[in-house]
């Protein structure tokens, strides 16, 4: 098969890249190793600010499992504070139905003219005379795809990055290791996303409860990879379920990793761009990566349009993508990486003080910087010790 662009991986990043490239008139193929796009889900499905998604794409009703008004944070000493989030006056966040969402994005790519191949796994790449050759297994048959340009959107375990020798191996401290249950329970508060902190509950991370409507919720845990041993996320999640939601019925279990490394050195090479988790573009503090994958996917697809049409897919030509994402989402990733390193220094006492000090404060329309400023005013000694004044200036 000969195409202008081959996109490997039909998650949000890959589908949006394929859509944007096809819209600019290119012949595009989108490869997905799984037989059903969007399944199995490896995500808590949260988008914290509705307008961020709406600004990028027309949101379809069947993509949304629930709408939440804000977050509730629980400190290690069992105190909690609820905060409504109302950026741009649009209310809080969405909990997506990612199965429908991922499929919906792939459908839009197909509608724009991209060819979608499911149950098609890329197995390797070689470059000859300026052209990439991908060997793939498509529904059991060998398939060779020839393309001047490849977009690697193959997620956290990206092989494309490794095949193209783009130095993408993640160290344990640069991964959030996660386990999650989809649960049915009567006691789920459907209004808030909840976060539970503490070094006994989730060392270097947190437990989340994201309500999915009805009596359903995603209940999961994310731990800093370097502070966790194999099996620990599930063991701690089971402990949490036992103490907080003893009657919950578990309907599904997922495990997975999220890159929290901050910026990757290069996400482009001759004839290659990486997007989304493959490019480590998820938020290093929260682990959220859906919005950034979509943004980067659009930028990569648009750059592909220009590069292929002009017959120049060199690293220099693809720099437009590198520059665009670094000057937008890249800046945010850099700030969040600093915030993550601050968070990792907190003891349980620090967390108790910080969360307690938010009682009665209206933080509904604040961003991270605003929230840290409020915390700093309430806890100057503690946050001075942790170097937060410095951090706020750089946020
Ligand atoms: C437990 C957990 C909870 C999370 N919760 C949230 C959350 O609440 N909010 C949020 O914003 N983010 C969350 N994330 C992160 C989010 O899921 C990712 O950042 C996001 O999916 C990245 O999109 P992507 O398109 O880059 O990659 P992915 O969505 O991972 O898609 C990659 C695709 O590539 C395919 N693929 C891989 N290799 C090949 C191959 N060789 N050939 C063909 N296809 C291939 C895969 O099958 C997959 O479909 C969570 C992650 C985990 C693990």
Helices and strands (H, E) in the chain, number of each type? 12, 19
Residue with CA nearest ligand 1 atom 18: 289
Tokens 């209940």 belong to residue: 219
> Model confidence over 323-379: pLDDT tens digits?
999 999 999 999 889 888 888 888 999 899 888 888 877 766 666 667 777 777 777
Of the pLDDT bands very low, low, confident and very high (cuts 50, 70, 90), residue 48 is confident
Domains in the chain (CATH in brackets) are 5-44+98-169+265-327 (3.50.50.60), 75-93+172-259 (3.30.9.10), 335-394 (no CATH)
pLDDT digits (tens, 9 = 90+) for 288-322: 999 999 999 999 999 999 999 999 999 999 999 99
Block residue for tokens 């919720």: 217
Question: Whose Cα sits closest to atom 30 in ligand 1?
Answer: 155
Pocket of ligand 1 contains residue 32 by CB under 6 Å: yes
Q: Which residues pair with 216 in a beta bridge?
A: 184
Cα-to-chain-centroid distance, residue 366: 21
272 lines ligand 1 (CB under 6 A): no
Q: 99: CA distance to ligand 1 center in Å?
A: 12
Beta-carbon count within 10 A of 316 CB: 11
Res 387 pLDDT > 70:
no
DSSP 350: H
- What mean pLDDT is predicted for residues 229-247? 95
Note the pLDDT tens digit of each residue in 131-155.
Answer: 999 999 999 999 999 999 999 999 9
Note the pLDDT tens digit of each residue in 2-12: 999 999 999 99
| 276 within 8 A of 293, measured Cβ to Cβ | yes
Q: Please give the Cα distance from 166 to 356 (Å, whole number).
A: 44
Closest ligand 1 atom to Cα of 102:
29
pLDDT tens for each residue of 52-71: 899 999 999 999 999 998 88
Residue recorded with tokens 């993509």: 63
The predicted model gives 161-168 an average pLDDT of 86
Calpha distance 248→241 (Å, rounded): 8
Q: Which of 81, 166, 155, 134 is nearest to 363 (CA)?
A: 81
Is the Cβ–Cβ distance between 67 and 25 less than 8 Å? no
Phi, psi of 193 (to 5 degrees): -85, 135
């Amino acid at each position: 098969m000969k195409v202008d662009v081959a996109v490997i991986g039909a998650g949000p990043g890959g589908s949006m890249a394929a859509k944007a490239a096809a819209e600019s008139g290119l012949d595009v193929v989108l490869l997905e190793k799984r037989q059903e796009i969007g399944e199995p889900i490896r995500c808590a499905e949260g988008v914290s600010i509705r307008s961020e998604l709406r600004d990028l794409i027309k949101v379809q009703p069947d993509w949304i499992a629930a709408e939440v008004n804000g977050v509730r944070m629980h400190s290690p000493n069992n105190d909690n504070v609820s905060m409504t989030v109302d950026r741009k006056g649009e209310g809080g966040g969405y909990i997506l139905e990612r199965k429908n969402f991922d499929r919906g994005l792939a459908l839009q790519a197909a509608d724009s003219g991209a060819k979608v191949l499911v149950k098609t796994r890329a197995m390797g790449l070689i470059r000859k005379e300026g052209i990439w050759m991908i060997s793939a297994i498509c529904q059991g048959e060998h398939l060779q795809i020839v393309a001047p340009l490849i977009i690697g959107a193959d997620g956290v375990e990206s092989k494309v990055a490794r095949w193209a020798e783009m130095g993408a191996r993640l160290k344990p401290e640069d991964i959030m290791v996660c386990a999650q249950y989809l649960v049915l329970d009567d006691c789920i508060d459907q209004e808030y996303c909840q976060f539970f902190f503490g070094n006994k509950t989730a060392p270097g991370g947190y437990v989340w409860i994201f309500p999915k409507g009805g009596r359903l919720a995603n209940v999961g845990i994310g731990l800093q990879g370097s502070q966790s041993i194999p099996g620990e996320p599930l063991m701690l999640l089971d402990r949490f379920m036992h103490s907080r939601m003893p009657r919950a019925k578990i309907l599904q279990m997922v495990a997975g990793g999220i890159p929290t490394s901050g910026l990757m050195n290069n996400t482009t090479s001759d004839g290659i761009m990486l997007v989304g988790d493959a490019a480590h573009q998820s938020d290093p503090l929260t682990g959220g990566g859906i919005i950034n994958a979509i943004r980067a996917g659009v930028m990569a697809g648009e750059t592909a349009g220009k590069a292929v049409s002009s017959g120049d897919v060199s690293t220099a030509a693809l720099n437009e993508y590198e520059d665009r994402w670094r000057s937008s989402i890249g800046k945010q990733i850099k700030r969040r990486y600093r915030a993550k390193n601050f968070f990792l220094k907190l003891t349980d006492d620090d967390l108790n003080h910080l969360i307690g000090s938010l009682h009665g404060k209206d933080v509904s329309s604040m961003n991270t910087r605003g929230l840290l400023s409020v915390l700093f005013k309430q806890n100057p000694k503690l946050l001075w010790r942790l170097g937060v004044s410095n951090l706020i200036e750089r946020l």
